């Protein structure tokens, strides 16, 4: 019942009292990464003077987010499992965060081990082995080996649809079906930061085709956790954005409330692929599909 009361209080404060509280925090610990993925601009910032967060900054930011009312937090990078501060590692921050937030997640490239103290572990896979290796530094076999060995209770695949992998979703889902540790898959769409990453954006027709394919696969019973309604709304980005429910933390300790891209590049709403924001906005509108998607993603065992 704890999570029910917790989220009910959040919805009361935001919907009834009109408070602009963040629900979900994207917490970038570092820009450092052991891969150089073609779709990612962040590993290119690994040498930035403030590109790796200190322990004191991380603790200050976590407590600040908790005081702001934020309920869900996802650690990311770069590769967050490369984060070190003295003798402390990312797992130490996850343990602290579990004392402050309703749910704690981490998004990793999957090459460094997966039995982590977060409630949810996302592993990024962007296509069938050959395509994934081309996009993500030849890492597929390492990821698959770690997934087969993992004992964590809630591992999800994070899949970003782009121009090169847009026909591979069914094949990937079929491949993942043989990996017992994988509990489902969440979809996003490639977002063009324009900061050195490859041009992998979808045309309007490619975007529609890819999303309609995902909806059809979900209806066939494939474990895609995004809601059908929000996927359909992403075709033309017709949904009402509530970017105040998202807060971004960057390695220098900057905290920005608003769009995921707001502190990280140009905001191009027409090209938005950030499905978690669409789902969170849908949940605030009390759309059943988004509420179920959020429960299945963050809350259910």
Query: pLDDT of 199-244, one tens digit each?
Result: 899 999 999 999 999 999 999 999 999 999 999 999 999 999 988 8
User: Across the chain, what does the average pLDDT equal?
Assistant: 94
Q: Are 249 and 194 in contact (CB under 8 A)?
A: no
CATH class of 22-32+40-299: alpha beta
- Which residues lie below 8 Å from residue 19, measured CB to CB, with a gap of 6+? 13, 69
Query: pLDDT of 45-101, one tens digit each?
Result: 899 999 999 999 999 999 999 999 999 999 999 999 999 999 999 999 999 999 999
Q: Are 152 and 159 in contact (CB under 8 A)?
A: no
Report how many helices (DSSP H) and strands (DSSP E) the chain contains, helices first.
10, 10
Strands 72-76 and 103-108: parallel
Give mean pLDDT, residues 125-151: 98
Q: Are 292 and 227 in contact (CB under 8 A)?
A: yes
Looking at residue 284, its pLDDT comes to: 85
- Does 122 have pLDDT greater than 80? yes
For residue 156, give the 3-state DSSP assignment.
strand
Higher pLDDT, 41 or 108: 108
Q: How many CB atoms lie within 10 A of CB 8?
A: 11
Query: pLDDT of 17-26, one tens digit each?
Result: 677 888 999 9
- Does 1 have pLDDT greater than 60? no
Looking at residue 35, its pLDDT comes to: 97
Give mean pLDDT, residues 117-129: 98
Give the relative orientation of helices 204-219 and 169-176 as an angle to the nearest 10 degrees: 30
Instruction: Give percent of the chain above pLDDT 70.
Output: 99
Looking at residue 267, its pLDDT comes to: 86
Higher pLDDT, 242 or 28: 28
pTM of the model: 0.95
Higher pLDDT, 140 or 197: 140
Strands 255-257 and 246-249: antiparallel
Looking at residue 50, its pLDDT comes to: 92
Looking at residue 274, its pLDDT comes to: 94
Q: What are the sequence ranges of the domains in the chain?
A: 22-32+40-299
Strands 88-89 and 84-85: antiparallel
Output the CA angle 221-227-231, nearest 5 degrees.
105
Q: Are 200 and 39 in contact (CB under 8 A)?
A: yes
């Amino acid at each position: 019942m704890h999570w029910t009361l917790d989220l009910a209080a959040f919805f009361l404060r935001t919907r009834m009292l009109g408070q602009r509280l963040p629900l979900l925090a994207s917490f970038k610990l570092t820009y450092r990464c052991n891969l150089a993925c073609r779709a990612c601009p962040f590993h290119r910032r690994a040498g930035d003077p403030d590109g790796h967060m200190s322990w004191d900054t991380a603790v200050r930011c976590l407590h600040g987010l908790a005081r702001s009312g934020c309920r869900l937090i996802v650690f990311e990078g770069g590769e967050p499992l490369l984060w070190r501060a003295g003798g402390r590692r990312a797992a130490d921050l996850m343990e602290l965060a579990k004392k402050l937030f309703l749910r704690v997640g981490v998004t990793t490239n999957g090459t460094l081990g997966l039995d982590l103290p977060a409630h949810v572990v996302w592993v990024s896979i962007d296509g069938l082995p050959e395509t994934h290796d081309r996009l993500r530094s030849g890492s597929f076999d390492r990821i698959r080996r770690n997934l087969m060995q993992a004992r964590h209770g809630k591992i999800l695949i994070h899949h970003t649809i782009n121009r090169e992998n847009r026909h591979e979703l069914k094949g990937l889902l079929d491949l993942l079906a043989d990996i017992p540790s994988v509990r489902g898959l969440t979809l996003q769409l490639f977002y063009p930061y324009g900061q050195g990453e490859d041009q992998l954006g979808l045309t309007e027709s490619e975007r529609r085709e890819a999303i309609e394919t995902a909806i059809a696969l979900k209806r066939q019973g494939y474990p895609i956790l995004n809601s059908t309604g929000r996927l359909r709304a992403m075709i033309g980005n017709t949904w009402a954005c509530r970017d105040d429910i998202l807060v971004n933390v960057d390695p220098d300790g900057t905290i920005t409330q608003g769009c995921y891209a707001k502190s990280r590049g140009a905001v191009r709403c027409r090209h938005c692929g950030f499905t978690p924001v669409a789902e969170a906005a849908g949940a605030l509108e009390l759309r059943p599909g988004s509420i179920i998607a959020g429960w299945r993603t963050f809350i259910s065992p």
